[in-house]
Each structure stands twice: as C-alpha cells, then as structure tokens.
C-alpha cells in the first residue's frame, strides 16, 4: 500500500526470480507429499482435550471481570487518542492518523490476532460504547429490536471489508483526514445502528475488523475451550474449527484478492494502464479491485466445484467447507506483503503519535525515535517473504487435506483433492509472481 | 500444544530445507542483480570516455535533450551519476512509468519538465522539486537506502517512475 501522503514511502524490492522458482517448487513438493503421505483419517478441528492448559494464575486473571474491562478501557483510550489527531490535528503528512489507522491498526491486527486470538472483540470501542449505553438504559446488550436473521451470516462483514480495502487501495486522497474521518464516521454509525437493531451479536457478523481478527485469530496458539479453560492448542485445530456460514467464502476471498490487487496496482504495467486511460483513476482502480477479487473467487468456485464432483461430496458443500484453508494462504501473503511496512512505518507512526497536533509536543516520549532497520536487509526480507508464503501454503494444504477426508468417501478422496491442491499452488505461485513483478 | 503428527513430519522437514535453499539463492540473486548494474556502469564509462578527447562529443551531448525518451543518459562530466529525465505534457508522462534501477550509494539526478505548475516528490527519500511550466527542475541525491521508491507529482497525481535501489 502506498498512500500518497507520506505513508509507506519505501517499499520492498521485488523478490529475486530464483526465489519465485524455489517457492513454487516447494509448494508443488508439499502438495505431492500431502496427496500421498499424510494421514488417512480426519483429525483436525477437535477441542484437543489432552492439551496443556495455561498456568492457573493466567487462568484466574483471564476469568476475572476486571480482565475484560482492562481491554475495553484500553480500546476506548486508544480510540480516543486516535481521534485527537483525526479531529484536531492538521491535515498534513506529519499527522499520525493515516499511519495509525492503516499500519498500526489494520496491519498490526494480524500479528496481534495470530498471537492472542480474536483481540478486536475485546478491544472494539464500538462494542464497549454499545455495552455502556445498554447498561445505562438497563437493557440486555445481547438483545436488539429484532433477532439477527440466520441467512445474514458474514455478508455484512464482507461488505464492510470490501469498503475498507476499497478505501485503503483505491479511494482518492485516502491518507487525508476528511476521507479517513468520513469513512470511519460512516462505519461507526452503520455498526452501532446494526447493534441497536440486532443486539451485540451484530459485531460478530457485521464489524469487518472483528470478523477479520476472528478469522486470523483462529490460528492463535492458545484459546478458550468449550469448557471455559484457556489451553494451548494446535493452530490447525483452531483454524479447522471454522464452520461454513453464509458469506464466509466471499469474505476469505476478498481478503486474499484485495492483497493481490495491492501488489498488482504497484506494477508499472498497471500504473501505465491507469494513467494513460481516459477513465478517471478511481474508476479504473475500483474495476481492477473488483476484477481481481472476482478472478480469485472464480478460481475458488471452479476448483471446489470440480473437487466436489470428483470427490463425490454432497453437492454444494465443498466451497464452504474448504474456505478455512484459504485463511493461512491469505495470512502468509499479508505478512509477506506488509512485514517491512509494519516494522518501518510503524516506528515512524509511533514517533508521530507523540505529537498528534503537530505542536512540538512529546506526549508519549517517542517523538525523537529514528527509524531503525531492525534487520530488514533485502536478502533477509525476500527470504522471509517466500518462507511465510510457503508456510501459508503448507498449512492451507494440510487443512484442505484433512477436511477432504471428512468430505469425500475414501475411494474418491485422492481424486477430489487434486483440484484443491492445484488451486492452492495457483494462489501461491501467483502470490510469488506478484512479489516478483510488483 | 499438540505435537505435529508423525505423518506431518516429512512436510515440516521440507521447510527448513527450503529456507536454507532460499537463503543461498537470494544471496546469489543479490549478486546477480548487482552484476548487470555494474556492467552497465562500466559501459557508460566507456561511452563517456571519448567525450573528453573527441571534438564530436558536444553534438552527442546536444542530441540528448532532443530525445526525451531517454530515461538514462550518462552525464559527460560524471559517469557515476544516474541521470533520469522525465517530461510531462498534457498529463502524459514521457518516458512512460517504469522501474529504474540504481545501485546503493550511487548519485541520482532527476530532471522533471512539466507543462503545468506542480510539485514532484520522491517518496521515501522525501525529495521535492517545484515545477514551473516548461522549466526543468532537478533533484540530486545519493541513493543510500535500498528499496523501491515512487516518484510522483502531487497536483496531477501522476506516477513518473519507480526508483529501485539495490
């Protein structure tokens, strides 16, 4: 992402072509190993009751009511601090708002969720405001004016996520305060209105950031089990616990497709096309974003339909059942794509956050920070990028394999997996090629 | 945490192997990438060498501005300087936006001529040039930071090129 307002000025070097070839070869190798040598019975998605629970002190702390309020208040304080720069700060490159929103919050949500689970559910200031308002009025926050229809699923979050990636990647003047402010105002009004109508369950289905954090957070190494105990777990079990729901497939595809568009839009060939066409750039950008997401979706639908037919699964189930396996692929690509942006631009944003009004103040004591390289050498970054993409592919392949064993009868299980593996190799190789070319 | 099932181990064994391979080749990739840049630099040195001795040189130098399509013409005075020349006319960028590679530590001189008043900005390095209609404006700096950096105009929002510093 490059936000023509001073955010994300430096971008990564394209990865060497040799790295693309090695990554692609590894992806193929992994897929063949998966096809022939992995387990023969589905084993992921359980609660893993034998897993070690976290120490008793941690359990006690996490079960205390104060624990929840600590994070709710932290979320409110951070949001209020963010609003100082957004509402009262000058609209110039030294304002931390764009960096805080796009880099610290949006990109930072991925590592936070990977480590600690669905963190935004705990921090979400809108959820807390809704809760406080309900407490004040003596109402149950879970109850809205009417129940959330089950068919709604994740479609609202899907629309919200698309609105966000459009803002991040296409919207004109997207790093300026009026644009960020208007988007956030619309988001806050719609989300709170949804919560008033449908109760706090709306946040689980309609808040794109909660849903995003929840998806990524399924890969976290610890989680609260069904019996309330916080225990370590296999990340794959967490991811496999994602059950199909309306809109979920599209949600996952928007996540992967938008990141791919981010890379593509940086390629010189795309820049030339946009600048030399008579159509205004935001229109071309919107069309490009929609087309890339549509292509990723079409590839997904085709592969899962073929897999369902060849594997003799119950018709119409494969696409939803396999959606969880795309999450690690998307996360791998997101980490590869935004890793240095987060490290370098994150430092700059924290320095700027110390003086949100640009008055020469140093509220956080970080104003004097100079950006440290933190080991981001070109060769190291390229290695990390290919490594996380291949890891994403491995995890996706394992998840798809495990689910295929549950979906397909044994005699057709291998055949049914072939389209899924081809799809993942395609996603992985396209991701690598985008890191090479764009 | 559940330890990886035995069946998963061959898969996991592939990873460190791949990482090691990558380490090795991305290091090679780095030197591969550097090699053409160095040879390109030596070519420009050779091309520039006759300039100081042969009287025909001024003609060659004069022909450079006549061909704005040339994005990289070695300066006769200092062949180590990477010259980048861009012209903007009617919202059209010549040469069209592309990647321009330089080696880390090289001096870069960017000259932009626009038909409208504007401001040109090199992201990351945060170098700016005020553009007056028809008057070339220059930025000169040492490319001391690796990465990919976009050169843009602020008023018209055009990307001029991407500077790749390896």
Closest residue to B7, CB basis, from A37, A232, A275: A37
How much is the ipTM here? 0.83
What whole-number distance in Å separates Cα of residue A292 and Cα of residue A254?
9
Rounded to the nearest angstrom, the minimum Cα separation between B54 and chain A is 39
Specify whether the CB–CB gap between A170 and A282 falls below 8 A. Answer: yes
Which residue of chain A has the CA closest to B161? A268
Kindly report the average pLDDT of chain A as a whole number.
92
pLDDT at A381: 92
The first and second tokens of residue A348, run together, are: 């700059």
B54, pLDDT greater than 50: no
Pairing of strands A222-224, A10-11: unpaired
DSSP letter at B75?
A: -
Tell me what percent of the residues of chain B surpass a pLDDT of 70: 52
- Domains of chain B by start residue, with CATH: 1-166 (2.60.40.420)
pLDDT digits (tens, 9 = 90+) for A96-125: 999 999 999 999 999 999 999 999 999 999
Residue B65 above 70 pLDDT?
no
Supply the pTM of this predicted model. Answer: 0.85
> Predicted confidence band at B73 (pLDDT cuts at 50, 70, 90)?
very low
Contact B8 A390 (CB under 8 A): no
* Nearest chain A Cα distance for residue B143, angstroms: 12
Kindly indicate the confidence band of residue B11, based on its pLDDT and cuts at 50, 70 and 90.
low
Question: Residue A235 above 80 pLDDT?
Answer: yes
To the nearest whole Å, the CA of A406 is away from the closest chain B CA by: 17
Q: Is the pLDDT assigned to residue B75 strictly greater than 50?
A: no
Hey, are the CB atoms on A16 and B33 less than 8 Å from each other? yes
Give the containing element (helix H, strand E) for B124.
none
Q: Which pLDDT band, with edges at 50, 70 and 90, does A419 fall under?
A: very high
Residues of B in contact with A391 (CB under 8 A): 15
Residues of chain A positioned with their CB less than 8 A from the CB of B98? 268, 272
**Distance (Å, whole) CA A20 – CA A382:** 10
Average pLDDT over residues A147-176: 94
Least CB-CB distance to A37: which of B10, B28, B145? B10
Q: Please say if the pLDDT value at position B16 is more than 60.
A: no
User: In this predicted model, which residue has the larger pLDDT, B112 or B80?
Assistant: B112
Contacts of B27 in chain A (CB under 8 A): 379
Nearest to B110 by CA among A33, A89, A128, B93: B93
pLDDT of residue A368: 87
The percent of residues above 90 in pLDDT, for chain A, comes to 77
For A258-300, write each residue's pLDDT tens digit. Answer: 999 999 998 999 999 999 888 999 999 999 999 999 999 999 9
Q: Does residue B83 sit at the A interface (CB-CB below 8 Å)? A: no
Which of A2, A33, A48 comes nearest B14 by C-beta? A33
In whole angstroms, give the CA distance from residue B143 to residue B165.
7
How confident is the model at residue A107, as a pLDDT? 96
- Return the residue in B4, B6, B7 with the most chain A beta carbons within 10 A, the one to mutate for interface testing: B7
Pick from B123, B126, B151 the residue to mutate for testing the A interface (most A CBs within 10 Å): B123
**pLDDT (0 to 100) of residue B44:** 36
Q: List, for residues A337-353, the tens digit of each pLDDT value.
A: 999 999 999 999 999 99
Chain A residues inside the 8 Å CB shell of B119: none
C-alpha distance from residue B57 to each of B60, B79, B85, B111 (Å): 5, 14, 20, 22
Question: Tokens at residue A382, please?
Answer: 């390229």
Single out the residue of B149, B151, B155 nearest to residue B115, CA to CA: B155
CB–CB of B146 and A276 under 8 A?
A: no
If you compute the radius of gyration of chain A from its CA atoms, what whole number of angstroms results?
A: 22
Chains A, B: CB pairs < 8 Å: 139
Contact B26 A383 (CB under 8 A): yes
Which residue has tokens 């019996």? A227
Specify the 3-state DSSP secondary structure of A2. coil
Q: Phi and psi for A280 in degrees, rounded to 5?
A: -55, 145
CA distance A85 to A320: 41
Q: How far is B114 from chain A (nearest CA, A)?
A: 16
Instruction: Pick A383's closest partner by Cβ from B10, B22, B32.
Output: B22
Among A12, A233, A234, whose Cβ lies nearest the Cβ of B148?
A: A12
How many Å apart are CA B7 and CA B22, to the nearest integer?
A: 25
Preferred mutation among A12, A20, A23, A26 to probe B, highest tally of B CBs within 10 A: A26
Beta-carbon separation of A268 and B98 below 8 A: yes
For testing contact with chain A, the best of B13, B26, B89 (most A CBs within 10 A):
B26
Whole-number pLDDT of residue B32: 38
Which B residues in the span 21-40 are in contact with A, Cβ-Cβ below 8 Å?
Answer: 21-23, 25-30, 32-33
Phi-psi region of A172 (alpha: psi -120 to 50; beta: other; left: phi over 0): beta
If pLDDT is split at 50, 70 and 90, which confidence band does B22 have?
A: low
pLDDT reading at A321 higher than 50: yes
pLDDT of residue A63: 87
* A274 min Cα distance to partner chain B (Å): 10
Contact B14 A237 (CB under 8 A): no
Give B45→chain A minimum CA distance, Å: 26
- pLDDT reported for residue A242: 93
State the pLDDT at residue B19: 55
């Amino acid at each position: 992402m490059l936000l023509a307002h001073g955010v994300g000025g430096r971008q990564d070097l394209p990865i060497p072509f040799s790295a693309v070839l090695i990554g692609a070869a590894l992806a193929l190798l992994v897929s063949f190993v998966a096809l022939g040598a992995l387990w023969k019975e589905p084993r992921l998605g359980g609660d893993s009751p034998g897993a070690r629970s976290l120490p008793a002190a941690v359990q006690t702390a996490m079960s205390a009511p104060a624990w929840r309020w600590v994070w709710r208040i932290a979320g409110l304080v951070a949001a209020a601090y963010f609003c100082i720069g957004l509402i009262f700060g000058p609209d110039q490159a030294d304002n931390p708002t764009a960096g805080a929103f796009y880099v610290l919050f949006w990109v930072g949500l991925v590592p936070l969720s990977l480590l600690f689970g669905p963190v935004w559910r705990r921090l979400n200031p809108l959820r807390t405001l809704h809760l406080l308002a309900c407490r004040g009025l003596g109402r149950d926050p879970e109850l809205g004016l009417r129940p959330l229809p089950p068919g709604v699923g994740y479609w609202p979050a899907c629309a919200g996520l698309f609105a966000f990636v459009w803002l991040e990647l296409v919207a004109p003047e997207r790093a300026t305060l009026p644009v960020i402010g208007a988007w956030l105002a619309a988001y806050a009004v719609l989300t709170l209105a949804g919560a008033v109508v449908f109760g706090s369950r709306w946040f689980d289905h309609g808040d794109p950031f909660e849903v995003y954090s929840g998806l990524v957070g399924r890969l976290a190494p610890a989680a609260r089990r069904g019996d309330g105990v916080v225990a370590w777990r296999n990340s794959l079990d967490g991811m496999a616990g994602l059950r199909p729901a309306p809109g979920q497939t599209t949600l996952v595809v928007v996540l992967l497709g938008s990141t791919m568009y981010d890379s593509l839009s940086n390629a010189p060939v795309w820049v030339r096309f946009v600048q030399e066409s008579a159509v205004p750039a935001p229109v071309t950008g919107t069309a490009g974003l929609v087309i890339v997401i549509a292509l990723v979706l079409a590839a997904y639908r085709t592969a899962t339909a073929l897999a369902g037919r060849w594997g003799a699964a119950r018709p119409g189930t494969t696409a939803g059942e396999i959606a969880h396996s795309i999450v690690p692929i998307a996360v791998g690509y997101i980490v590869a794509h935004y890793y240095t942006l987060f490290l370098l631009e994150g430092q700059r944003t924290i320095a700027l956050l110390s003086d949100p009004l640009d008055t020469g103040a140093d509220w956080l004591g970080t104003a004097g920070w100079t950006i440290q390289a933190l080991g981001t050498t070109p060769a190291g970054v390229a290695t990390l990028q290919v490594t996380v993409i291949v890891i994403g592919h491995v995890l996706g392949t394992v998840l798809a394999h495990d689910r295929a064993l549950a979906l397909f009868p044994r005699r057709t299980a291998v055949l049914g997996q072939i389209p899924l593996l081809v799809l993942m190799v395609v996603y992985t190789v396209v991701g690598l090629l985008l890191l090479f070319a764009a | 945490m559940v330890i990886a099932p035995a069946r998963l181990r061959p898969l996991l064994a592939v990873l460190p192997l791949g990482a090691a391979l990558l380490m090795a080749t991305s290091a090679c990739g780095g030197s591969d990438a550097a090699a053409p840049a160095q040879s390109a630099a030596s070519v420009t040195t050779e091309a520039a060498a006759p300039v100081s001795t042969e009287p025909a040189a001024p003609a060659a130098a004069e022909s450079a501005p006549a061909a704005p399509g040339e994005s990289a013409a070695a300066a006769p005075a200092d062949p180590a300087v990477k010259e980048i020349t861009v012209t903007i006319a009617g919202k059209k960028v010549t040469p069209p936006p592309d990647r321009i590679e330089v080696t880390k530590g090289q001096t870069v001189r960017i000259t932009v001529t626009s038909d409208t008043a504007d401001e040109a900005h090199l992201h990351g390095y945060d170098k700016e040039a005020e553009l007056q209609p028809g008057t070339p404006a220059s930025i000169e700096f040492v490319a001391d930071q690796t990465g990919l950096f976009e050169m843009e105009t602020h008023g018209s929002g055009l990307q001029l090129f991407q500077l790749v510093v390896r």
